[in-house]
Structure 1
Amino acid sequence: MASQYSLKGHILPELIYLIGLVVLCNVALSMQSNDVNCIVYNEEFMECTWSHSEGKPNYTLHYWYYSEPETECRNYIQQDGYNIGCNFSNNEIKQFRDFNIYRNGFSDSGNESTPTQTFQLQSRVKPNAPGNLKVNATINNGLSLSWEAPMPRRRCLMYRVRYQSNKDKDWQSATVTEQTRFKLASVDSEKLYTFQVQSKINPYCGTTDLWSEWTLPVYWGRNDTQIVNSKEGLHTLISVLSLLGLIVLVVSLMRSERLKVIIIPKIPNPGRSFDPLFDTHNGNFQDWLGVPKDTLEGFKSNYHENVCIVSESPPDSLQSSDHGGSYEQLGRTEIPGKASIPGNRGEIQPKNTSPATLFSDIAVFVESSRYAINENIYVRV
């Protein structure tokens, strides 16, 4: 019993080690043998590419079809001076036949070759995205989506349609075979729908998982966000145009004196109106007004009238006849500056005085008369 348990303890770890080594070798061989990827783009051209690692030689690609001689690649794809792929034209592509390739390289250790890989090119076709995608409304709130096939062989294509409304979180998809049209029975006109389509070779023409890229999205429906954004854009545009107009107006005012006078009239300065009186006419007011000399001469008087002042004598100088006094008249006329000098025949002769003395006497006489009149009024009251 002890020998059996010891034998199992030695054999089991070695068996596990061998199994793991075989698996790793198979994985390494599979990775090494499948390091070249060939894709036929829309049945127009083909590219077979691989990656280059540091320290690896610069590989050349060799290919052949069944029962045909081996041929080296005629058009390499290079990167940093190393071959990383081969480009095949349309006349070099033959579907439904085995396409064999291998790589060959030279290094210091000698010639290095990779295992041969075989492809069925009809299963390596990747179509382009469908073209001219359109969406139209139909009766009963339906939609019809149409597009154009990217390849001449329309029967070998299948399509996948995905659509989503602005109220949905996930995409909804549908598959269309041998047709270039998709219909939705009913949609909500208050929502905004987004549609995209991609294409692939169908199982009747090839077994592949290579789908094309998605088309550019097309939209149908109502988007409140777009309406709000358009209104905001319009308001922004109006504000910018108003600001530009204001700037242009300010610049025009600064450069155009005539426009500045029309919009902002100048306030007149009355002080400047009298400048010609002193600058041109030397203070001559009549000359500045433009009054003719003949008119000024017409306003001058050609006669002279003596001043005659009538006043009332003060009440103190009046004597009543009851007291035996002599009666004098209340009103008498005297001319200031003319003294009463008896003449030869009892007449009063005026005394000649100067104009200055005459003006002084008149002023004194007026003041005394004003005082007498006020006094007389007071006594009577």
Structure 2
Amino acid sequence: MTRWLASIHVLTIDHSKTRFVEKSNPPVFEQPNRQNDVECLIVNQEQVHCVWNKNGAPGVNYTFSSWFENNKESNCTNYLIEDNITIGCKRDCKREDKFSDFYTILRHGNETKSKKIHALKKKVKLNPPTNVTVKIGSDSNLWFYWNQSTPRCVDNQVRFRINNKPWDSTHVPSERLSYCINLPSSNSRYEFQVKSKITESCGDSDIWSDWSDPVAWGFNNSTNTNIKEPISVWTPVLYVVGAITLILLIIMLLRHERLRIILIPVVPKPLLSSPEIELPVGQKTSPLQVEGHPPTSVWPLGLVSVLQRPDERRFQSQLQRAGLPCTRVRLCLPL
């Protein structure tokens, strides 16, 4: 730290913190070039991630060094690279380091491009919860569970939706790793996700973790972590083949009357009335009986067709063709 003090000769006290500033100039670390501005956050209370490409990709490779208060400066050993250009750095940290100021320096060759002090207490981003599961409990309620790498001092937020409707979100108290829906409907689909952040009592981070992987339950009362179920490539093919088959069947029925009669037989209407035909005087009538024929005789086919479509003149002419001597016959249908 001695080389920093060589160009600094004004000492101010601000809320019990010692702060060095240049004479008649703003603090050294507080006004970096915006194009080379460095932004940092603590990931899962295990690593510090810093990037300097928020305002555009840098055109050159920078070297980066950093340290926490009361520690020594160290050069970056794990750069983030994009298109062969360094855009960030990752370094390890301890859980309690978030309460200390974090110093960063960005250089290009011998030229210093950025100097900055970071307060990271409210910039802690946890990893998303893992091992998310959902199942029906012994109490017939639907239970959603998850695991958190740092269960203490963690607030959780659960969101769920039913049948792909808009999400409903609810807060889950610290150190609780489950959420319950009372008496779910087996005919509905329930989908869950959860995210976490540090509680107020342990630093009160402003950054939530990403949402966990989704998990769903419903319809067939089973858990399904793969929400996007792909449709089989054969499904549309079967739909097309079925539609073509139906169209061909309709065309065949319309063009082939014989096939239509076989598949859909026509039921004849019952006779509501029949013509009266007189038999010779004194001759008793009986079903399907005429003069010169025994009672058991069967009427000719032409006569039967006339019975279905009664017409007196045609009926008499068919009697003559059949060789029946009687011209006046009364037809008696069987009861």
Q: What TM-score do you get using the length of structure 1 for normalisation? A: 0.45
1:12 matched to which residue of 2? none
Residue 41 of structure 2 is matched in structure 1 by 39
> Do structure 1's residue 84 and structure 2's residue 65 form an aligned pair?
no
Q: CA deviation at 1:179?
A: 0.5
SS of the equivalent of 1:94 reads: helix
Note closer, same or farther for the CA distance 1:115–1:141 as it changes in structure 2 (3 Å cut): same
2: CA distance, partners of 1:196 / 1:175: 12
197 and 31 in structure 1: CA distance in 2 versus 1, 3 angstrom threshold: farther
Kept after mapping to 2: 8 A contact 1:198/1:212: yes
Deviations 1:297-344 (A, max 9, x none): xxxxxxxxxxxxxxxxxxxxxxxxxxxxxxxxxxxxxxxxxxxxxxxx
Q: Decide whether aligned partners of structure 1 residues 103 and 94 sit closer, same or farther in structure 2, where only a CA change above 3 A counts.
A: same
Question: Could you say which residue in structure 1 is the equivalent of 2:156?
Answer: 159
Q: How many aligned residue pairs are there?
A: 200
2:100 paired with 1:97: yes
| Within-5 A mapping of 1:47-66 | 47-51=49-53, 57-66=60-69
Are the structure 2 counterparts of residues 161 and 65 from structure 1 closer, same or farther at C-alpha, using a change threshold of 3 Å? same
Residue 208 of structure 1 aligns to which amino acid in structure 2? S
User: 1:214 matched to which residue of 2?
Assistant: 211
Residues 31 and 156 of structure 1, relative CA distance in 2, 3 Å threshold:
farther
Structure 1 residues 139 and 89, CA gap change in structure 2 (3 angstroms): closer
Q: Spell out, residue by residue over 1:146-188, the C-alpha distance to the aligned partner (whole angstroms, 9 max, x if none).
A: 1111x2x3112111111111163x1111111220011122332
Question: Where does the alignment leave 5 or more consecutive residues of structure 1 unmatched?
Answer: 1-27, 240-381
1:172 corresponds in structure 2 to 168
Q: C-alpha separation between the residues in 2 aligned to 1:92 and 1:174?
A: 28
Kept in 2, the 8 Å contact 1:33–1:117? The answer is no
Structure number with the bigger relative contact order (C-alpha 8 A, sep ≥ 6) is 2
Can you list the C-alpha shifts for 1:80-129, whole angstroms capped at 9, x where unaligned? 443211121356983321111121224xxx83432323232x43322222
Report Cα offsets for 1:262-316 as digits up to 9, x if no partner: xxxxxxxxxxxxxxxxxxxxxxxxxxxxxxxxxxxxxxxxxxxxxxxxxxxxxxx
Structure 2 distance, partners of 1:35, 1:94, is 22
* Distance of aligned partners of 1:116 and 1:223 in 2 relative to their CA distance in 1, 3 Å threshold: same
1:190 aligns with 2:193: no
* Residues in 1 aligned to 2:155 and 2:36: alpha-carbon distance in whole angstroms: 28
Q: Is the 8 A contact 2:161 2:192 kept in 1?
A: yes
Q: Which residue of 2 is the match for residue 274 of structure 1? A: none
- Superposition pairs of residues 278-293 of structure 1, within 5 angstroms: none
**Cα 1:34–1:156, aligned 2, differ >3 Å: closer, same or farther?**
farther
Partner amino acid, structure 2, of 1:171: W
- With 212-221 and 31-40 compared, the bigger mean Cα shift is at 31-40
Q: Classify the secondary structure of the residue corresponding to 1:114.
A: strand
Structure with max Cα Rg:
1
> What value does the CA root-mean-square deviation take over the aligned residues?
3.8
User: For 1:95, what is the secondary structure of its paired residue?
Assistant: helix
Q: 1:200 to 1:70 in 2, by over 3 A?
A: same
**Secondary structure of the corresponding residue to residue 212 of structure 2:** coil
What amino acid sits opposite 2:75 in the alignment? E
Q: How much has 1:72 moved relative to structure 2?
A: 2.3
Q: 1:198 and 1:190 mapped to 2: Cα distance?
A: 27
- Contact 1:167–1:191 (CA under 8 A) maintained in structure 2: no
- Counterpart amino acid of residue 88 in structure 1: R
Summarize the Cα distance change of 1:174–1:70 in structure 2 as closer, same or farther, 3 Å threshold: same
Q: Tell me by how many angstroms 1:138 deviates.
A: 4.0
The answer for unaligned runs of 5 or more in structure 2 is: 1-29, 222-227, 242-335
1:132-151 to structure 2, matched below 5 A, reads 132-138=131-137, 142-149=141-148, 151=149
Amino acid aligned to 1:46: V
Shift of 1:66: 1.9
Identity %: 30
| TM-score, structure 2 normalization | 0.50
C-alpha spacing 1:157/1:33, structure 2 compared with 1 (3 Å): farther
State yes or no: 1:128 paired with 2:124.
no
CA deviation after TM superposition for structure 1 residue 75, in Å: 2.6
For 1:216 and 1:54, the matched residues in 2 are separated by: 31
Partner Cα separation in structure 2 for residue 81 and residue 167 of structure 1: 42
Secondary structure of the equivalent of 2:194?
A: strand
Give the alignment of 1:261-276 within 5 angstroms: none
Contact residue 32 and residue 116 of structure 2 kept, 8 A? no
Counterparts of 1:69 and 1:155, CA distance in 2: 30
For residues 105 and 164 of structure 1, the distance between their equivalents in structure 2, rounded to whole angstroms, comes to 51
Q: Partner residue of 1:68? A: 71
1:203 paired with 2:200, answer yes
